[in-house]
């Protein structure tokens, strides 16, 4: 991450995360965040979450991930104790103005959500040609 720009950071006070916590306790998923010259990639571990139970939203400067895992119980099985029946996941981030939130690419594979957030064209490094006088 750059020392000069705030690329992506967790914001515990984000409104979306507070709303999710008020509805029902949620697990904060582990994430990996990698920055390169073209943007940021976020990987979030969401085991057991199908695509239809996943919601990724951008509102103002906040990116939020909310999901619910599906834990199938076989018919006829009587569960006597379950620590986690259908875990909910919730996590929010503050997005830098250098990133183009209108072009976020998201994919979910094997319980891992991958978000690619490109930089805005104006924020990309560019080479300036110097002409001889």
Q: What is the mean pLDDT of residues 85-109?
A: 92
Percentage of the chain exceeding pLDDT 90? 52
DSSP structure string for 66-79: EEE------TT---
Are 92 and 16 in contact, with CB atoms under 8 Å apart?
A: yes
Enter the pTM of the model: 0.71
60 inside domain: yes
Band of pLDDT at residue 14, cut at 50, 70 and 90: low
Token pair, residue 70, equals 């599906």
* Range of the structural domain that residue 96 is part of: 8-72+83-121
1 inside domain: no
Q: What is the mean pLDDT of residues 39-45?
A: 96
| Residue 111 vs residue 22, higher pLDDT | 111
> What is the structure's pLDDT at 72?
78
Return the CATH number at 50: 2.60.40.790
């Amino acid at each position: 991450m750059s020392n000069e720009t705030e690329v992506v950071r967790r914001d515990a006070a984000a409104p979306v995360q507070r709303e999710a916590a008020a509805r029902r306790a949620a697990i904060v998923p582990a994430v990996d965040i990698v920055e390169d010259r073209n943007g940021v990639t976020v990987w979030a571990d969401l085991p057991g979450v199908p695509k239809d139970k996943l919601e990724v939203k951008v509102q103002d400067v906040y990116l939020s991930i909310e999901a619910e895992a599906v834990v199938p119980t076989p018919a006829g099985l009587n569960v006597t104790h379950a620590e986690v029946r259908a875990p909910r996941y919730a996590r929010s981030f503050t997005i830098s103005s250098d990133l183009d939130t209108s072009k976020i690419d998201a994919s979910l594979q094997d319980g891992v959500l991958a978000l690619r957030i490109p930089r805005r064209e104006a924020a990309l490094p560019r080479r300036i040609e110097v002409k001889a006088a």
